[in-house]
Homo-oligomer: A and B are copies of this chain.
Amino acid sequence: MGIDKNFTSRYFEDYRLGMTIPHALGRTVMQGDVALYLAVTGSRFAVHCDRVYAQNLGYRDCPVDDILVFHLVFGRTVPDLSLNAVANLGYAGCRFCAPVYVGDTLYAESKVIGVKENSNGKTGTVYVSSRGWNQNGDTVLEYYRWLMMRKRDESSKPPEPVVPSLPDKVADGDFVIPDFLREKAADATDDVNVGSSARWDDYNVGDDIHHIDGQTIEEAEHQMATRLYQNNARVHFNQHVEKDSRFGRRIIYGGYIISLARALSANGLAHGLRMAAVHSGRHAAPTFAGDTVYAWSRVLDKQPIAGTEQLGTLRLRTLVAKDNGTMVFPAPEDKSSWPPHLVLDFDYSVLMPRRASHKKSDRKAQKG
């Protein structure tokens, strides 16, 4: 015997610099995943719900929502990375690569790129680089993440500390932009009504967009979504244990808040195509069933894409607050200025079609 039959629970000492952790369990994406994701988020992006729109753009079917892809890949990593985590400290350098379609099967692995014991001798920070790929071996997602892990034995010798240098931002040149979008993102969506006429051209750096709608979170919705991703972190599902925890209740999976932020953002960013990258993401506070979340975005940057006039990128800072429908954007790095109702600070880039060229001529003609 001697073989542990339960999933391996890893402690800080178990993560050694340079080790690769292959995560268990491939996951085939189903039409039911897509429908359930819609049901728990209310997402309204045409590319994910209108096959005709997606195919006109050049996709062979509706691509799976980028955040759903993230959750499915992240779910693979949970038994290896999260079961003994004290806190999920942050994300960086997340790139969305090959589009994912219903029928694809996803796999994941993580590499340990940094370890540093905390001064209290009880915990340490582990830095990983995680990657998801499909049945053909094409990378669909990659990101950095760092977590605070419990030590198994407080007297164990700390490892040589290594803190990797993580990117503040994924470089625009590293965005994966399908050729078909470069060729026709504007032309293919020119006549399509998605609820707002605003294209890339209409956003300006510094614009603040209130996404208006609030969503109240129910325990059942959150549990169903999180189980769908096969994320089995215990704090989300076990009230019998959590009633005696610091919060006295189950904690909502942080990724669920990212999903709601992205879904709510359709009211203000309706023409958004795929996410190109998440530059950083931080959960400022936990959320619980019964909380109502709201979202705001600020346009941090807008950039054309070399060699095409069909689409451009918007870099957005999206904030989520709970139980507060009005918020002032705090300074990003001054945590002391963060309002108490802030739960997520999310910095990402999205691809958005530009106004089709003949329309630009029209506008010029009108002005002229």
Say yes or no: B227 contacts A323, CB within 8 Å.
no
Say yes or no: A224 contacts B7, CB within 8 Å.
no
A241 within 8 A of B: yes
Distance from A277 Cβ to chain B, minimum over Cβ atoms (Å):
22
- A232-258, CB < 8 A from B: 232, 234, 237-241, 250
Contact stretch, chosen from A30-38, A158-166, A177-185, A327-335: A30-38
A290 within 8 A of B: yes
A51 within 8 A of B: yes
A71 within 8 A of B: no
Say yes or no: A25 contacts B39, CB within 8 Å.
no
- Which residues of chain B have C-beta atoms less than 8 A from A268's C-beta? 5-6
- A260-305, CB < 8 A from B: 267-270, 290, 292
Contact stretch, chosen from A85-93, A115-123, A195-203: A195-203
Distance from A364 Cβ to chain B, minimum over Cβ atoms (Å):
16
Contact stretch, chosen from A41-49, A145-153, A168-176: A41-49
A40 within 8 A of B: yes
Distance from A123 Cβ to chain B, minimum over Cβ atoms (Å):
22
Say yes or no: A42 contacts B5, CB within 8 Å.
no
Say yes or no: A50 contacts B270, CB within 8 Å.
no
Say yes or no: A269 contacts B5, CB within 8 Å.
yes
- Which residues of chain B have C-beta atoms less than 8 A from A22's C-beta? 193
Say yes or no: A30 contacts B31, CB within 8 Å.
yes
Say yes or no: B26 contacts A53, CB within 8 Å.
yes
Say yes or no: A270 contacts B24, CB within 8 Å.
yes
Distance from A165 Cβ to chain B, minimum over Cβ atoms (Å):
30
Binding site for B on A (CB under 8 A): 1, 3-8, 22-28, 30-36, 38-42, 44, 46, 49-53, 62, 79, 103, 105, 135, 193-198, 202-204, 207, 209-216, 218-221, 223-225, 227-228, 230, 232, 234, 237-241, 250, 267-270, 290, 292, 323, 325
A-B contact pairs, 6 of them (CB 8 A): A3-B198, A6-B268, A7-B267, A30-B31, A50-B105, A218-B223
